Amino acid sequence: MLAEKLRAALVIARRDFVAVIFSKTFIFFLLGPVFPIVVGGMAGNIGAQVQRDLDNPVVGVALPAHEGDRMVRARDAMADRMAGPVPEFVVLERLRAGESYDARAALARGGGIAAVVTGTLDAPVLTGTPERLGSWRGMVSTFAARAQSASPGGFPDVAVDSVATSVAQERNGQVLTAQAAQVLLFLLVMLLAGMVLSNLVEEKGNKIIEVLAAAIPMDALFLGKLFAMLAVSLVGIAVWGMGYGVVVLLGAKAVPVLAAPAVGWPAFLILGFLYFAMAYLLLGSLFLSIGGMASTVREVQTLSMPVTMTQLMVFFFASYALARPGTWIETASLVFPVSSPFAMLARAAQAPELWPHAVALVWQAGWVLLIVRLGAQLFRRTVMKSGAAGGRARRGWLAALLRRRTA
């Protein structure tokens, strides 16, 4: 009985896989993520350029005699030793003894002046907006103190003793790797799992699913569709990966280098593949169950939205648990079947033990089979509306056809 179900599932998987791969819509599906990436990249570059053009502040200096020149020299000498961006300092006017300068009027004239320093080096006055005053007050004080020194001399050389890494740095790097892996896993699953539902809706609309349901066990039908769409997803990921490699070879910037995960990159990549498969099968089985409860395309779309939003909340839950190691929240995210792939992949980046992953994969696979079984029962009740005799006749005819195709 089990062998027959596996053969039937293989036939369904091969049928769906070939039908999707050799369809025209699959080409557009592969090109789908390209357009948001291109538009996002262009928008990001334009936004960064605009930000650079706008955020190039200048501080005007209006001090007596040559005190302004001394402050500008102090700024030039210390700029590369200060953390963060340092605005340009320009001398607006060299004042005579007792002469004042209207800083507010200088700011109102514009010309790129973001703040004005007046007064004297002993008592500088910084005029500007509140956010500028909070950021630059200490900086102006430092430059003024430097400019007051009659013979400031050079800065002392600082001897350095570099280490390759530290425990804290390694820990932080592994957390970043875990976060990046969770985000990538979530995006791939959300992008690709919808194909299961669309395929089911199409066959349900043209009544093909009823014929298939009358011919083979529902469990085999569901498993075949799940593994077919999983194989299609892997083809899409392979194509996107090769496309990214070509872009990098042509000179584009690669993603930032991530810290090595605790289990090592080879094991981490294998676990990433397995957890993607489990996350996809879990979400896909839920989508198939939804398709079994719905009788129209509109109902399918309506019921799928809560599952999609729930999956988003599950991702947030796994991400939150990542920052709470050793707590019941982390344990719950590891045990809860839908969040388990995300939480376990993050664990692989931070803990070197491999045996928990074997337990987790068995646990997740068991839930996939359970959801498929429950979804198949619901599907049978909603789809199989024909009489028993007609159903047995179609089952016998299509069972013979399946046996010939698998022989």
Is residue 17 included in any domain, yes or no?
Answer: no
92 is in which domain, residue-wise?
A: 56-148
81 or 331: whose pLDDT is higher? Answer: 331
pLDDT value of residue 61: 92
Does residue 228 lie in a domain region? yes
In-domain check, residue 157: no
Clarify whether residues 172 and 140 are in a common domain. no
Residues 197-208 pLDDT 10s: 666 666 666 667
Higher local confidence (pLDDT), 63 or 295: 63
Assess if residue 162 is contained within a domain: no
Same domain, 122 and 207: no
Give yes or no for residue 273 having a pLDDT over 90.
Answer: yes
pLDDT confidence of residue 254: 58
Q: Strands 113-119, 124-128: parallel, antiparallel or unpaired by DSSP? A: antiparallel
Q: Report the chain's mean pLDDT, rounded to a whole number.
A: 79
Query: Is residue 397 scored above 70 in pLDDT?
Result: no
Looking at 148, 175, 206, which one is the last position of a domain?
148
Predicted confidence band of residue 390 (pLDDT cuts 50, 70, 90):
very low
Check whether residue 192 and residue 246 sit in a common domain: yes
The more confidently predicted of residues 285 and 359 is 359
Measured CA to CA, the distance from residue 173 to residue 170 in angstroms comes to 5
- For residue 334, the model assigns a pLDDT of 92
Pairing of strands 88-95, 113-119: unpaired
Structure tokens at 292: 């079994």
Q: What pLDDT, on a 0 to 100 scale, did the predictor assign at position 340?
A: 93
pLDDT band with cut points at 50, 70 and 90 for residue 309: confident
**Are 102 and 220 contained in the same domain?**
no
- Token digits for 157? 């050389």
Residue 374 backbone zone (phi > 0: left; psi -120 to 50: alpha; other: beta): alpha
Cα dist. 30→34, 35, 40, 85 in Å? Answer: 8, 10, 17, 42
CA 279 to CA 296: how far, in whole Å? 26
Asked whether the predicted pLDDT for residue 106 surpasses 70, the reply is yes
| Beta strand residue intervals within 96-222, DSSP E | 113-119, 124-128
The answer to whether residues 304 and 395 belong to one domain is: yes
- Other CB atoms within 10 A of residue 221 CB: 25
Q: Of the given ranges (197-206, 238-247, 262-271, 362-371), which has the lowest mean pLDDT?
A: 197-206
| Nearest-10 Cα torsion for 290, 295, 296, 300 | -10
With a CB cutoff of 8 Å and minimum separation 6, the contacts of 113 are 58, 59, 60, 92, 106, 107
Contacts of 153 (CB under 8 A, 6+ apart): none
Are residue 88 and residue 175 in the same domain, yes or no?
A: no
Band of pLDDT at residue 348, cut at 50, 70 and 90: very high
Domains in the chain, number? 2
- Residue 276 is which amino acid? F
Nearest to residue 148, comparing CAs of 79, 82, 64?
64
45 has pLDDT over 80? no
Q: Are residues 183 and 294 in the same domain?
A: yes
Query: 104-133: string of b/e by CB count within 10 Å (b at 16+)?
Result: eebbeeeeebbbbbbbebeebebbbeeebe
Q: How many helices (H) and strands (E) does the chain have?
A: 16, 4
Q: Which of 82, 116, 148 is the last residue of a domain?
A: 148
Rg (C-alpha) for the chain, rounded Å, is: 32
Do the beta carbons of residue 65 and residue 79 sit within 8 Å?
A: no
In a domain, 19, yes or no: no
- Model pLDDT, residue 388: 43
177 and 89 assigned to the same domain: no
Pair 222, 347 in one domain: yes
Residue 71 CA to residue 63 CA, distance in Å, equals: 9
Do residues 285 and 227 share a domain?
A: yes
Determine the 3-state secondary structure of 323 from DSSP. Answer: coil
Compare 386 and 247 and report the one with higher pLDDT.
Answer: 247
| Beta pairing, strands 124-128 & 88-95 | unpaired
Model confidence over 63-97: pLDDT tens digits? Answer: 998 888 999 988 888 888 787 778 889 999 898 87
pLDDT value for 393: 45
Residue 32 falls inside a structural domain:
no
Percentage with pLDDT > 70 across the chain: 77
The pLDDT, as a whole number, for residue 387 is 40
Residue 362: pLDDT band (50, 70, 90) is very high
Q: How far apart are CA 28 and CA 26, in angstroms?
A: 5
CATH of the domain at 130: 3.40.190
Q: Look at residues 148, 183, 213 and tell me which one is the last residue of a structural domain.
A: 148
Confidence of residue 358 (pLDDT cuts 50, 70, 90): very high
Q: Report how far residue 401's alpha carbon sits from residue 395's, in angstroms, rounded to the nearest whole number.
A: 10
My answer on whether 189 and 274 are in the same domain is yes
Which of 223-227, 253-257, 299-303, 377-381 shows the lowest per-residue confidence on average (mean pLDDT)? Answer: 253-257
Residue 251 has pLDDT above 70, yes or no: no
In a domain, 67, yes or no: yes
pLDDT for the residue numbered 163 = 54
Continuous segment of H or E residues that includes residue 88: strand 88-95
pLDDT per position as a tens digit, 124-168: 999 988 888 888 888 888 888 888 875 555 556 556 565 555 566
pTM: 0.69
- Which residues share a beta bridge with 113? 58
pLDDT (tens digit, 9 = 90+) per residue, 217-243? 878 888 888 888 888 888 888 888 888
Amino acid at 168: A
In a domain, 353, yes or no: yes
Q: On the CB side of 277, how many CA atoms lie within 13 Å of its CA?
A: 16
- Looking at residue 323, what is its pLDDT? 83
Reading the block at residue 308, the tokens are 């999609």
For residues 205 and 276, state if they share a domain.
yes
